Structure 1
Amino acid sequence: MDFRQLERFLAVVDHGGFHRAAEVLYVAQPSLSQSIKQLERELGEALFHRAGRGVVLTEAGRELVGPARAAVHALGLAVESVGAVRGLRSGRLEITAMPSQAIAPLAGVISRFTAYYPGVRVVVRAGATADQVVEAVRTGRTELGLLAGVRLADRPGVGLHPVARQRFVVVAPAAGPFRTGARVGPADLSGLRVIAGQTGTGMRAVVDELIESGAGLTIAVETEHREAILPMVLAGSGIAVLTESWREISERSGAVVADLDPPFHLEVAYASHADGLGPAARAFLQLATDREGRSVG
């Protein structure tokens, strides 16, 4: 059993099949299949059941996932530590981020990081909810995550590093009931239709809290595609509750942005793997927390 076999096994797990895993790894599918067959022969157990074009883990396969991630993570740290003597002139850093946080604060930190370390490739993966981001970091799929929530509790297996606090705002069409800069309370939202994010996102938590507090809001649209919310607002499908990071682009697009009163806030934090970080991830996290807040946890 070698590192490459485990890496390929995890790629099949994470991408749900051999075809997509081969594309991601840039290897021929027969080569990937042969690596998995060799691993199964060495272990004496089948790791996957074939199900149409996809695969399902066997019991033995499920048992291997955790140790395989730990082994790949540990070896990756070792390789990166050796490479650190070159002053981070090369390497790869993977980060899983929620969509809004990928705009701010992540984009700004990446810009500064790549200016310092132009030889390190930064790969940003998508996590729709805080739970998805934490799971990606905890299981070793990525070293760092960027997540947000109305309340951020401690998560087993990861360290949290708060970096920002963003205020929620109401985004409405120009022909809507508010003017830019107005202060909007729950009573002002009565009878309005809202475009909401999926359960597990900060924006959805605020909408749910407003409804529970007596605001007469009706969820007209629920979407996982955050980039579609502003166009739907502009088209008149409803209002939206978004973070302050959307203010500038919303106003430039012709929408009206009003402040919630009383305010709701989104807590933003980086998540790191509990077993340690490689040099590139450490440098990135140091840059992010030095600039935007104090690292804790």
Structure 2
Amino acid sequence: MDIRQLDCFLAIVDHGGFNRAASALYVSQPALSQTVRSLERDLGAELFHRIGKRVVLTEAGTALIDPARAAVRGMETARASVEAVQELRTGRLDIAAMPSPAVEPLAAMVHDFHQRHPGVQVRVRAAFTPRDVIGMVRTGTGELGLLTTPGPLPEKEGVVSHSLGVQRLVLLAPPDGPFPAGRPVAAEELAGQRLITVQRGTAARAYTDELRERGVEFTVAVETEHRVSVLPLVLAGVGLAVVTDSWRGTARRAGATVLDLEPDPVLHIGLISRKGQLSPAARAFQEGALTQQHRPG
């Protein structure tokens, strides 16, 4: 059993099948199948049930996922440690990020990192809730995580949280919306409005759910898990949407009205890492992000 075999196994798990995994790895499907069969022979167990063109993990395959990720991550850390001697000229960093902080502050953080280490590829993995981010960091799917939460930053076993400041929630409305630009919108004024909401577990959804608990009645026009659809829906006049302030610039350039909310809801931004040794790329990214956060101006 070698790291290449484990890489192939995880690619099939992550991409949902042999064909997509082969494309992602730039190998032929027969070559990938042969590699997996060799791994199965080494382990003495089948890892996938082949059902027509579909594959389903066996119990043995499920049991292999976490150890395989740990082994691959350990090998990547070893390789990156050697590359650190060459000042991080190559390498890769996986970051699990929720959609809103993936706009900002992540864009500025990646720009700063690439200014210093242009040869290191940054791969951003999608996560939709703080729990998703923590889970991906703990299992090694992402070495670092970026999340927002209305409460204190999480301090769970196996991860460390670093504060990156705060973001605020704002209201998006079409240009001809019900509220005038330039003044905050009180939470109670959302009564009777049509809102576009996102999935549970997010700060924006927690805010709208709290409104309803406080007796502010509104109509849910659309509930979507696709954050990129929120702004087009607002511009189309479908409804209003509560989003983080990181969308302000994009929304205004697109023609939407961005309104502050009253009282002012604040989210805490956290950079999450595993306890223990980080790869040189992750360590450099984390140090740069924290330095940038405390930089004057």
| TM-score (norm. length: structure 2) | 0.93
Structure-2 separation of matches of 1:275 and 1:75: 15
Q: Confirm or deny: 8 A CA contact 1:138 1:274 kept in the other structure.
A: no
* Structure-to-structure mapping, 1:1-150, within 5 angstroms: 1-150=1-150
SS at match of 1:229: helix
Residues 179 and 257 of structure 1 are in contact (CA less than 8 Å); yes or no, is this contact kept in structure 2? no
Choose 79-88 or 158-167, whichever is displaced more. Answer: 158-167
**1:289 aligned counterpart, secondary structure:** helix
Query: Structure 1 residues 285, 232: CA separation in 2 closer, same or farther (over 3 Å shift)?
Result: same
Instruction: Work out the CA distance in 1 between the residues paired with 2:253 and 2:208.
Output: 24
State the secondary structure of the residue aligned to 1:267: strand
Partners of 1:53 and 1:181 in 2: CA distance: 57
Report deviation, 1:134: 2.2
| Contact 1:190/1:216 (<8 A) preserved | yes
Counterpart code for 1:195: I
Q: Structure 2 matches for 1:82-231, cutoff 5 A?
A: 82-151=82-151, 152-231=153-232
Taking the aligned partners of 2:203 and 2:53, their CA distance within structure 1 comes to: 35
Per-residue deviation at 1:50? 1.9
CA positional deviation for 1:255: 2.1
Whole-Å separation in 1 of the counterparts to 2:37 and 2:183: 63
Whichever residue aligns with residue 100 of structure 1, its letter is S
- Shift of the alpha carbon at 1:283? 0.3
* Deviation per residue, 1:41-82 (Å, 9 max, x gap): 111111111234332211111121121111111121111111
Task: State the secondary structure of the residue aligned to 2:248.
Answer: helix
- Do 1:97 and 1:127's aligned partners in 2 also have CA atoms closer than 8 Å? yes
Does the C-alpha gap of structure 1 residues 199 and 104 become closer, same or farther in structure 2, counting only changes over 3 Å? Answer: same
**Matching residue of 1:237:** 238
Q: Return structure 1 stretches of 4+ with deviation > 4 angstroms.
A: none
Is this contact kept in 1: 2:103–2:247, CA < 8 A? no
Secondary structure at 1:112 match in 2: helix
Deviation at 1:272, TM superposition (A): 1.5
Q: Partner of 2:85: helix, strand, or coil?
A: helix
Superposed displacement of residue 274, structure 1: 3.0
Please, which moves more after superposition, 251-260 or 60-69?
Answer: 251-260
- What is the CA distance between 1:275 and its match in structure 2? 4.0
Show structure 2 runs of 5+ residues with no match.
Answer: none
CA–CA distance in 2 between the matches of 1:134 and 1:24? 25
Quote the offset at 1:83 in angstroms.
Answer: 1.2
Kept in 1: contact 2:91–2:121 (CA 8 A): yes
Say how many residue pairs are matched: 294
Residues 126-158 of structure 1: CA deviation (Å, up to 9, x unaligned): 222222222222211221121222224323332
CA RMSD of aligned residues (A): 1.7
The CA deviation at 1:189 is 0.9
Q: SS of 2:281's equivalent?
A: helix
Partner Cα separation in structure 2 for residue 47 and residue 249 of structure 1: 45
| Alpha-carbon shift at residue 37 of structure 1 (Å) | 0.6
Partner of 2:256: 255
CA contact 1:129–1:201 (8 Å) conserved in 2: yes
Distance change (3 Å), C-alpha of 1:179 and 1:52: farther
For residues 53 and 138 of structure 2, the distance between their equivalents in structure 1, rounded to whole angstroms, comes to: 28
8 Å CA contact 1:89, 1:117 repeated in 2 = yes
Q: Is the 8 A contact 1:186 1:214 kept in 2?
A: no
Q: In 2, Cα distance between the equivalents of 1:236 and 1:55?
A: 43
- How far apart, in 1, do the equivalents of 2:181 and 2:247 lie? 14
Q: Which residue of 2 aligns with 1:272?
A: 273
DSSP 3-state at the match of 1:222: strand
